[in-house]
Amino acid sequence: MVETLILLSAVAGGIVASVAGFGIGSLVTPVLAWHLLDAKLAVAAVSIPHVVGTAVRFWRLGGRVDRRVLASFGVMSAAGGLLGALLQERATTPALLILFGGLLLFSSAAELTGFGRRMQLGGALAWIAGALSGLLGGLVGNQGGIRSAALLGVDLPKHAFVTTATAVALMVDAARVPVYLWSMGSEIWQLAAWIAIATTGVVIGTLAGLQVLDRIPERSFRRVVAVILAVLGGAMLIRGLEVG
C-alpha cells in the first residue's frame, strides 16, 4: 500500500511538474512524511527523485531557457536553496507552511484576476523572489510553487516558462542535495527502495506530462498554472494550520 501511494504520487508529481514547472516535491513529500513521521527526512529523500525528474524534464524540453531570468532569479534561488538546506534543522515547519500557502493563494488570485499581469518581475524583485523561492525550497522542499508563482510575473511562452523554471530547479537541487546527503546520508540510504519507486514514478509522469504540455493552448497556460498554484496553496495552508 505504501509503495503504491508513493508511485502514484510520484507519477502525478511528474505530470504536474511538466506542466507548471513544479509539483514533485509538493506531491511526493507529504506521502513520505506521513509514513515516516519525519518531515525533514522526507524532504531530503524526495530531493533524489526530484533532481532526476527535473533533469529528465530539462533534457526533453531542450534549450528554451530565458537566460536573463536564469542569471538573476536562478542564481539567487540556488543561494537561497543552500541556505534553506543548512537551516532546515531550525525550521518552524507549521509557520512556513502557512506562509507558503498564503503566498501561493495570493499569486494565483493575482493571475486569475489580471492584477498580476500589471506586476513585472525584474531588477531587484527578481533577485528577492529568487532568494525567497530557494530558501523555502531548502526548508520545506516546495520551492517550485513559489518559483512558478514568481515567474508568472515574467512574460514567457509556456515552453520557455517551464524550461526556465526547470533550469532554476536544477540549480537549487545542485545546492541543496549535497547538504542533505552530508547531513542525513545514512537515513536516506535506508529509504533506498522507496526512493527508487518514487524516481521511477517521477520519470514516467514527467514524460507523460510533457505530452500534456504540448496540448495546452498558449492563451490558457498561465491560468492553468494559477489554478494549480491555488490547489497547492490551499493544501499547504490547511496542513500548516492542522500541524500548528
- Domain definitions of the chain by residue range: 2-243
Distance CA 205, CA 7 (A): 10
Residue 15 is predicted with a pLDDT of 97
Q: Please report, in angstroms and rounded to a whole number, the separation of the first and last CA atoms in the chain.
A: 28
The per-residue pLDDT for range 120-164, each reduced to its tens digit, is 555 666 677 778 777 776 676 566 777 787 788 777 889 999 999
Q: Could you count the other beta carbons within 10 Å of the beta carbon of residue 218?
A: 9
The DSSP call for residue 157 is -
Residue 67 is predicted with a pLDDT of 87
Given a cut of 70, the residues of the chain with pLDDT beneath it are 37, 85, 88-93, 115-126, 137-138, 140-143, 243-244
Output the CA torsion 222→228→232→233 (10° steps). 40
Distance CA 40, CA 145 (A): 18
Residue 239 is predicted with a pLDDT of 79
Q: In the structure grid, which three cell numbers stand for residue 104, read together?
A: 501561493
Tell me the pTM: 0.84
Q: Is-contact 207 61, C-beta < 8 A?
A: no
Q: In the structure grid, which three cell numbers stand for residue 207, read together?
A: 514524460
Q: Select from 211, 228, 227, 215 the least CA-distant residue to 61.
A: 211
